[in-house]
């Protein structure tokens, strides 16, 4: 039997449409039709005039609900993180592991594989952030865990087959040929925590580098005579840029400059979320350091930013207010764009026939009231 979501304002590629219904069957969107064309035998779900948005896709989630993925990667920890972020509209995400030993990377991959096999809602792959990074741009990462991207490491990071694998590395810590080999093996490669020159970043892009992790943060900046990684990211029309729109990691004017350079279609909202998201406790331990959340910002004892306390619904609201974009563009940065970056455009990111039935129901202030994943409310 089909379920018809009715009496809502449906955000499609043509904008918010009233007097239409979304038909759901078997976890997929069967069709988007006028209200008068809903089948008589369909089970109806009244949205009460609220907005129906495509589910948000977040490619960088370290933790949530009081749990940190890298602490002890298990199915139950992933389930808790997924539930925490679903409450803010995230219907697809990559659990993110920051730099650790290869045995921890193996354990993280095994946990994500088991969680997907168990049907934990929302998990679509894994983001391995490091340990092939530059200590000069380490941020909160423990440089003691950094290592070369050798044959053993290649075998580990290419071993996950059930979902998407996103690998953040510093291009100057490996070779363009290795980046090409990773891309050929199906790994989505992004640059981050990098001190590469423009030329090094450009060579990586030419060999399969697909995007940039938290643009502007932990990477060589744009300068007059050395454009750096930021310059390479803004100059390249094909690549994607993740960006943390929390009002703290990147200045509002800098966000708008990125928007002007890249265009809304190539920017992706990410949270870089830590355990404090969706949790009452606003402190946690990360790689032996006590992290404290103050005014919505996660700080290490020395003042280093340590991920974020950001959720995706807030990121969308911030994109609208800080970047001066309208609702459809902000939502695309949180849904369609990351889905396209991950090669999942045929699965998620928009509300259209054949897509997975992943939805966020909100009021006009983007307060989340309902979330659907694969046709089921969660």
The residues carrying an active-site annotation are 272
Contact between residue 243 and residue 308 where contact means Cβ atoms under 8 Å apart: no
Contact between residue 286 and residue 292 where contact means Cβ atoms under 8 Å apart: no
Report the alpha-carbon distance of residue 370 to residue 161 in Å, rounded: 31
- Placement of tokens 């749990």 in the chain: 67
* CB count in 10 Å sphere of residue 156: 15
Pairing label, strands 67-68, 51-54: unpaired
Sheet with 283-286, side-by-side order of all strands: 283-286, 289-294, 297-299
DSSP 90: E
Helices and strands, number each (H, E), in the chain: 10, 21
Question: Kind and range of the H or E element at 351?
Answer: none
Question: Kind and range of the H or E element at 150?
Answer: none
**Short-list 245, 167, 222, 228, CA closest to 194:** 228
Report the alpha-carbon distance of residue 175 to residue 54 in Å, rounded: 38
């Amino acid at each position: 039997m089909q379920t018809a979501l009715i009496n809502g304002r449906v955000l499609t590629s043509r904008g918010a449409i009233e007097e239409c219904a979304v038909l759901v069957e078997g976890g997929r969107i069967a069709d988007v039709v006028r209200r008068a064309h809903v089948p008589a035998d369909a089970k109806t779900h009244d949205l009460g005039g609220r907005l129906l948005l495509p589910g948000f896709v977040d490619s960088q989630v370290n933790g949530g609900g009081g749990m940190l993925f890298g602490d002890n990667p298990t199915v139950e920890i992933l389930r808790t993180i997924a539930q925490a972020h679903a409450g803010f509209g995230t219907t697809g995400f990559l659990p993110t592991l920051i730099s650790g030993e290869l045995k921890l990377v193996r354990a993280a991959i095994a946990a994500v594989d088991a969680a997907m096999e168990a049907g934990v809602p929302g998990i679509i792959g894994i983001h391995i952030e490091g340990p092939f990074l530059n200590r000069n741009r380490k941020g909160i990462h423990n440089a003691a865990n950094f290592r070369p991207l050798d044959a053993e490491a290649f075998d580990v990071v290419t071993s996950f087959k059930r979902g998407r694998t996103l690998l953040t590395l510093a291009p100057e810590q490996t070779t363009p040929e290795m980046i090409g080999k990773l891309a050929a093996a199906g790994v989505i490669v992004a640059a981050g925590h990098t001190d590469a020159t423009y030329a090094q970043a450009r060579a990586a892009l030419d060999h399969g580098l697909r995007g940039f992790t938290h643009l502007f943060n932990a990477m060589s900046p744009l300068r007059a005579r050395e454009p750096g990684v930021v310059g390479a990211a803004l100059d390249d029309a094909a690549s994607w840029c993740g960006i943390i729109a929390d009002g703290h990691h990147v200045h509002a004017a800098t966000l708008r400059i990125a928007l002007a350079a890249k265009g809304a279609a190539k920017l992706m909202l990410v949270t870089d979320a830590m355990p404090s998201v969706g949790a009452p406790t606003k402190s946690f331990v990360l790689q032996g350091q006590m992290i404290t959340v103050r005014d919505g910002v996660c700080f290490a004892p020395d003042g280093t930013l340590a991920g974020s306390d950001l959720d995706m619904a807030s990121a969308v609201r911030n994109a609208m207010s800080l970047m001066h974009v309208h609702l459809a563009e902000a939502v695309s940065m949180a849904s369609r764009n990351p889905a396209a970056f991950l090669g999942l455009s045929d699965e998620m990111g928009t509300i259209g026939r054949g897509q997975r039935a992943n939805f966020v129901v909100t009021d006009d202030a983007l307060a989340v009231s309902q979330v659907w994943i694969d046709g089921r409310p969660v």
